[in-house]
Amino acid sequence: CGVSRRCFLFVSRSIKEKARLRLRQFDVGDRFSRLPLPKAAVLLPLVVRQGELHLLLTVRSMQLRRSPGEVCFPGGKSEAVDKDEIDTALREAKEEVGLQPEKVEVICRLVPGIDKMNHLVTPVVGFIEDTFHATPNPDEVSDVFVVPLEYFVKPLNYKTLPYKTPSGYSGRLHCFTYDDQEHKMSFKIWGLTAHFAVFLALVIFGKRPTFEVDYDLDNLISSSETNFQNLYASLYERKKSNL
């Protein structure tokens, strides 16, 4: 059916429908929301381009005190006005890249992570339209770009760094370099951002990546929750020993 818009919409709908079904199996809802850690949330915005799922990412402004110039998802700390993590992620995405909350079809919340500042960071997954045009807030964001989601299971440029948290939890840090043709730039995607992107790709595609991961891929749901519980427990042990 050529490149007609109708054909595109049909392909886009079926890609989204498959992804939705997979993602809903992994929705943790507010199961981790009551943990006694400061809260933050990020939006993982999925968009269909050229018949493929892509993930929208931002580059933090060089003026920011924390992690200037690093690649991340739209997001930030929870505020009193936010009902839940979904509210936090949508509010931050609007502030950072001009994405209107009503233009996001929220699908689920995935297993959270814990950042360097010991915030409980919840990834909120949502679809955005391929027509969305970002207007970055220069105080917070210097660039916005998209990466094919499949890059996070079949990268061209990847390395892994072993890491150990101060509390003794060890794991792998994924580090991707993505050459963006549109911007004629290379972006380094690593840390918690890469962790969430890899997990999202594993959930949606259900196939083995070309690199090692810290999950039992046959039991992705339970192993991702176990990993998080171990990370949280190691943090809690450290807090106790600091008292």
Give the model confidence (pLDDT) of 110-151 as tens digits.
999 999 889 999 999 999 999 999 999 999 999 999 999 999
Asked, for residue 65, whether it belongs to a domain, the answer is yes
Contact by Cβ (8 Å): 199, 73: no
- The Cα–Cα gap between 232 and 240 comes to 12
**What integer pLDDT is reported at residue 1 of this predicted model?**
53
**What integer pLDDT is reported at residue 140 of this predicted model?**
92
CATH for 118: 3.90.79.10
Least confident of 23-27, 163-167, 227-231: 163-167
Tokens of 113: 């992570």
**What integer pLDDT is reported at residue 241 of this predicted model?**
57
Q: What is the DSSP letter of 157?
A: S
Strand, coil or helix: 5:
helix
**What integer pLDDT is reported at residue 243 of this predicted model?**
43
- The Cα–Cα gap between 6 and 20 comes to 21
Asked, for residue 2, whether it belongs to a domain, the answer is no
Q: Which run of H or E residues covers position 220? A: helix 220-242
Q: How many domains, in total, are found in the chain?
A: 1
Asked, for residue 177, whether it belongs to a domain, the answer is yes
The whole domain housing 166 covers 15-241
Asked, for residue 47, whether it belongs to a domain, the answer is yes
**Between 236 and 17, whose confidence is greater?**
17
Asked, for residue 7, whether it belongs to a domain, the answer is no
pTM assigned to the model: 0.93
- Residue 80 pLDDT exceeds 50: yes
Asked, for residue 4, whether it belongs to a domain, the answer is no
- The Cα–Cα gap between 32 and 187 comes to 31
Asked, for residue 134, whether it belongs to a domain, the answer is yes
Average pLDDT over residues 212-238: 91
**What integer pLDDT is reported at residue 2 of this predicted model?**
57
Residue showing tokens 């969305």: 132
- Residue 53 pLDDT exceeds 90: yes
Percent of the residues in the chain that have a pLDDT greater than 90, as a whole number? 78
